[in-house]
Amino acid sequence: MAALKKMLLLVSAALQGACVATPTTPSTESMQAAVLIQHSVETSSLLNQAVSSALNGAKVSLASRALTQTSDVQVERTTQDPASMPGLNGQLMEVPKAYHFSLRKQGSQCYLVYQKTGQAFLLEGVKCRVLEG
Amino acid sequence: MINKRILTLFVLSVPFLSACGGGSGDSSTTPVASVPAPTWNQGVFASESNFKNRCENPRTGSDINGDAYPDIAGSKLYEKHWLRSWSNNTYLWYDEIIDSDPASIDDPIDYFDQLVTTAETPSGTPRDQFHFAQDTTEYLQLTSGGAALSYGARFKLIKASPPREGRIAYVEPNSPAADANFTRGTEIIAIDGVDFINGGDTDTLNKGLFPDVAGEEHTFIVRDLGQTTTRSVVLKAEVVTNEPVKATRIINTPSGKVGYLALNTFGTRNTEIALAEAMEELAEESPDDLVLDLRYNGGGLVAISAQLGYMIAGSALSDDKVFTKTVFNAKHPTNDPRTGNTLIPVPFIDTTLGLVTGTAIQPLPSLNLNRVFVLSSGSTCSASELLINALRGIDVDVVLIGDTTCGKPYGFSPTDNCGTTYSTIQFRSENEKGFGDYADGFSPNNAPAFIGESVQGCQVTEDVMHPLGDEQEVMLKAALEYRNTSTCPPVTASRAETIDVEGNLKNDPYFKKRQLLEQIRMDYLRTTYK
């Protein structure tokens, strides 16, 4: 298990080294709702990193095709069971708290915006398009 | 009438009380720096608040909500004393824990492993199979829409030892498996050049079945259902969103309309709307019966299960009735020890709760049925079993078609201390009639040596040779036949197979780690222990 974790960390670090989600403070008022033009492992990694940064380093695993159809995404604590403990999370009395993010475009740049704080994360190298209608 | 507004507030407010660091729910745990180093007096338990958040390695900085971690300098001994007192206060079978000196075991998690009952169920299964500790950052891992790393296909190992048979059970839409035109029944012939049926390289096969990281590619040779030729396809793993409702349809029979609904999870917010829409679609046809397919449903949010209970039974049967009641240990007969709040039973819920942001609270449809056919398996667990038990509690006839359910009438609030989140059983669940004793699951009563709570119905072994919702699909077919004749198909051979044989995929340690193994492993546990 330790080796597996180490490998995951290495892969994650390698992917994140290619391009970095940069937290910025631009005005989000002039930004337009957007969707990703194409999903990829690299884009997912960047989005995960941005969400993680907004949430003080939380582990994040967005769906690979998130933000390809809609400009908003909601994340919450996973209710998947650990592989070694099936059924563990099967009886949840509480609804996990949700955190809301939006993809926005300004000029040629794409940003992930944490709705609670308004903080925008520049997604360098990511291509998106303004959502029509 | 049970106050549903209070319930709604309960369901929606608790996470905000418990969101910090995994949520202890203990509002009186501010550590006092002057507390002396703990000592063990057998059978004497100080308040857990004396030991909370006093850590060997205190965390610094902020949690995901921006709140500062509550940790202060402490020691492993403090952490173990907190576990000891917390377990004595909240563990459902606290009086069955053997009190041992925290100083006698070094690691807090090893000590926690001891704080558990050793009792067994009538079938010989350990009564507590849900005692678990994990890193809090893992517990708090965030996903969107119940997403998980996979190809978007669930594999069913019909036979795990050579000659193996592995087929697709279902496919998630908008996923690599869907893109590859996999369907239920697609047979696996080879993975990454290794013969799936007779090959000896189980490591390669398991790594192909259960990828580790997004972007990982594996080459599959498959045979589609009804075809004689094979084809090769490269699958690239990604994080796939789970679709809760897999099929909805109306089946017209000479004796009336039968609704069919396949629901794979209660575990995501999206389930609320998807389920309400599916039930609305069925309600428009006013079916005489419902076949509810929960064979792959491991549970999830109790509130959504309670909504489905209402949508099946309707107001006449469910108003003023208990869906589930939480019963804590004898120290806490009226109040929740985690919050101090007065215990309130969960009712059958007749409205949406706005779990999906932006959706309004609306009345739910109902079928007003006093009978339901439930398709079940060893993967039918927790909130799914809660639904079965709740409906039986208000005298809705439940007919069980399939296999014994998993047997989890228990729950808890995972609780963080010093960066580890501990899950220990804190309550059991009872229905309107006060019944909740199904730790061995619910079993169709025609099973040759059934275990668990006996329910009218038929034991049927699943195959995957027809689509879900197809009238020829073996479990649905049995339900429809039982509905007409009250007879069951002949009981087929047990699913039990010898695990410890060479070449059995389930023998491989790698296999046991994989995410998609969850439900398969549950089947394995059942055949092994029961």
Q: Do A63 and B239 touch (CB under 8 A)?
A: yes
Half-sphere exposure (Cβ direction) of B340: Cα atoms closer than 13 Å: 6
* Region of B200 on the Ramachandran plot (φ > 0 left; ψ -120 to 50 alpha; else beta): alpha
For residue B13, what pLDDT is reported? Answer: 36
What is the domain-level CATH number for residue B304? 3.90.226.10
Q: Do A61 and B63 touch (CB under 8 A)?
A: no
Q: Which residue of A has its CA nearest to B61?
A: A56
For residue B357, what pLDDT is reported? Answer: 78
For residue A18, what pLDDT is reported? Answer: 36
Same domain as B474, residue B507: no
From B63, B240, B268, residue closest to A79, measured CB to CB: B268
Q: Do B408 and A91 touch (CB under 8 A)?
A: yes
Residue with tokens 């070094």: B106
What is the domain-level CATH number for residue B204? 2.30.42.10
Kindly report, residue by residue over B89-129, the tens digit of the pLDDT.
999 999 999 999 999 999 999 999 999 999 998 888 898 98
Question: DSSP label at B499?
Answer: S
For residue B21, what pLDDT is reported? Answer: 29
Query: Rounded to whole angstroms, how far apart are CA atoms B343 and B335?
Result: 5
Percent of chain B with pLDDT over 90: 77
Half-sphere exposure (Cβ direction) of B397: Cα atoms closer than 13 Å: 10
Q: Do A98 and B357 touch (CB under 8 A)?
A: yes
* Spatial CB neighbours of B376, under 8 Å, sequence gap ≥ 6: B294, B295, B384, B388, B400, B401, B402, B403, B404, B405, B442, B444
Q: Which residues of A touch B386 (CB under 8 A)?
A: 91
Is A18 within 8 Å of chain B by CB?
A: no
In the predicted model, is pLDDT for residue B264 greater than 90? yes
CA B502 to chain centroid, in Å, comes to 31
Is the ipTM higher than 0.90? The answer is: no
Is A14 within 8 Å of chain B by CB?
A: no
**CA-closest candidate to residue A43, choices B238, B176, B144, B212:** B238
Determine the average pLDDT of the residues in A87-111: 90
Query: Rounded to whole angstroms, how far apart are CA atoms B202 and B195?
Result: 10
Which pLDDT band holds residue A80 (cuts at 50, 70, 90)? confident
In the predicted model, is pLDDT for residue A11 greater than 90? no
Cα angle B372-B378-B384, degrees, rounded to a multiple of 5: 45
- Mean pLDDT, chain A, as a whole number? 81
In the predicted model, is pLDDT for residue B469 greater than 70? yes
Half-sphere exposure (Cβ direction) of B506: Cα atoms closer than 13 Å: 27
Query: Rounded to whole angstroms, how far apart are CA atoms B57 and B476?
Result: 54
In the predicted model, is pLDDT for residue A37 greater than 90? yes
Percent of chain A with pLDDT over 70: 75
- Total structural domains within chain B: 3
Kindly report, residue by residue over B366-382, the tens digit of the pLDDT.
999 999 999 999 999 99
From B15, B213, B303, residue closest to A97, measured CB to CB: B15
- Written as six digits, the tokens of B390 are 């709740």
For residue A83, what pLDDT is reported? Answer: 67
Percent of chain B with pLDDT over 70: 85
Query: Rounded to whole angstroms, how far apart are CA atoms B170 and B155?
Result: 8
Q: Are strands A98-106 and B457-459 parallel, antiparallel or unpaired?
A: unpaired
Is A11 within 8 Å of chain B by CB?
A: yes
Kindly report, residue by residue over B205-215, the tens digit of the pLDDT.
999 999 999 99
Domain locations in chain A as residue ranges: 18-76+97-130
Bridge partners (DSSP) listed for residue B217: B236
For residue B146, what pLDDT is reported? Answer: 82
Same domain as B177, residue B269: no
For residue A4, what pLDDT is reported? Answer: 32
In the predicted model, is pLDDT for residue B155 greater than 60? yes
In the predicted model, is pLDDT for residue B27 greater than 60? no
Query: Rounded to whole angstroms, how far apart are CA atoms B525 and B519?
Result: 10
Query: Rounded to whole angstroms, how far apart are CA atoms A124 and B244?
Result: 34
> Distance from B253 to chain A by nearest Cα, in Å?
35
* Spatial CB neighbours of B32, under 8 Å, sequence gap ≥ 6: B50
Same domain as B408, residue B515: no
* Prediction pTM value: 0.86
Determine the average pLDDT of the residues in A35-49: 94
Q: What are phi and psi of B363, to 5 degrees?
A: -65, 145
In the predicted model, is pLDDT for residue B433 greater than 70? yes
Determine the average pLDDT of the residues in B391-415: 95
Q: Which residues of A touch B18 (CB under 8 A)?
A: 94
From B63, B355, B518, residue closest to A56, measured CB to CB: B63
Q: Do A91 and B149 touch (CB under 8 A)?
A: no
Which pLDDT band holds residue B450 (cuts at 50, 70, 90)? low
Cα–Cα distances in Å, from B34 out to B40, B44, B245, B335?
18, 20, 55, 30
For residue B519, what pLDDT is reported? Answer: 38
Q: What are phi and psi of B461, to 5 degrees?
A: -90, 130
Is A37 within 8 Å of chain B by CB?
A: no
Query: Rounded to whole angstroms, how far apart are CA atoms B149 and B241?
Result: 9
- Amino acid at the residue A79: T
Determine the average pLDDT of the residues in B36-43: 91
Cα–Cα distances in Å, from A4 out to A61, A117, B207, B409?
17, 35, 12, 33
Determine the average pLDDT of the residues in B255-280: 96
For residue B406, what pLDDT is reported? Answer: 92
- Amino acid at the residue B471: E
Determine the average pLDDT of the residues in B219-244: 96
Lowest-confidence segment of A39-53, A76-90, A92-106, B457-471 by average pLDDT: A76-90
In the predicted model, is pLDDT for residue B63 greater than 70? yes
Q: How many other C-beta atoms are found inside a 10 Å radius of the C-beta of residue B406?
A: 31
Which pLDDT band holds residue B26 (cuts at 50, 70, 90)? very low
* pLDDT, greater one: B503 or B325: B325
Determine the average pLDDT of the residues in B183-189: 97
For residue B503, what pLDDT is reported? Answer: 57
In the predicted model, is pLDDT for residue B1 greater than 70? no
For residue B11, what pLDDT is reported? Answer: 47
8 A C-beta contact, residue B182 and residue A9: no
Q: Is residue B9 part of a domain?
A: no
Q: Is residue B513 part of a domain?
A: yes
- Residue B95 CB burial class (10 angstroms; 0-12, 13-18, ≥19): exposed
For residue B14, what pLDDT is reported? Answer: 35
In the predicted model, is pLDDT for residue A14 greater than 90? no
For residue A133, what pLDDT is reported? Answer: 67
CA-CA-CA-CA torsion for B23, B29, B34, B37, nearest 10 degrees?
A: -70
Which pLDDT band holds residue B247 (cuts at 50, 70, 90)? very high
Q: Do A64 and B386 touch (CB under 8 A)?
A: no
Same domain as B301, residue B443: yes
Query: Rounded to whole angstroms, how far apart are CA atoms A7 and B432?
Result: 50
Residue with tokens 């060893």: B378
Q: Is residue B501 part of a domain?
A: yes
For residue B500, what pLDDT is reported? Answer: 42
* pLDDT, greater one: B266 or B9: B266
Sequential DSSP letters for B139-195: HT-EESTT-EEE-SEEEEEEE-SSSPEEEEEEE-SSSHHHHTT--TTPEEEEETTEE
- Written as six digits, the tokens of B257 are 């309309």
Q: Is residue B196 part of a domain?
A: yes
Q: Which of B64, B344, B513 to mutate to test the interface with A (most CBs of A within 10 A)?
A: B64
For residue B479, what pLDDT is reported? Answer: 98
8 A C-beta contact, residue B245 and residue B261: yes
**CA-closest candidate to residue B510, choices A80, A4, A12, A9:** A4
Q: Which residues of A touch B113 (CB under 8 A)?
A: none
Determine the average pLDDT of the residues in A80-98: 79
Q: What are phi and psi of A20, to 5 degrees?
A: -125, 135
In the predicted model, is pLDDT for residue A92 greater than 90? no
Half-sphere exposure (Cβ direction) of B253: Cα atoms closer than 13 Å: 19
Same domain as B367, residue B315: yes
Query: Rounded to whole angstroms, how far apart are CA atoms B11 and B118?
Result: 32
Kindly report, residue by residue over B301-352, the tens digit of the pLDDT.
999 999 999 999 999 999 999 999 999 999 999 999 988 999 999 999 999 9
Write out the E strands in B93-152. Answer: 132-135, 142-143, 148-150
| Residue finishing a domain among B104, B139, B174 | B139
Q: Which residue of B has its CA nearest to A75?
A: B144
Query: Rounded to whole angstroms, how far apart are CA atoms B137 and A78?
Result: 11
Which pLDDT band holds residue B87 (cuts at 50, 70, 90)? very high
Domain that holds residue B218: 148-240+496-529
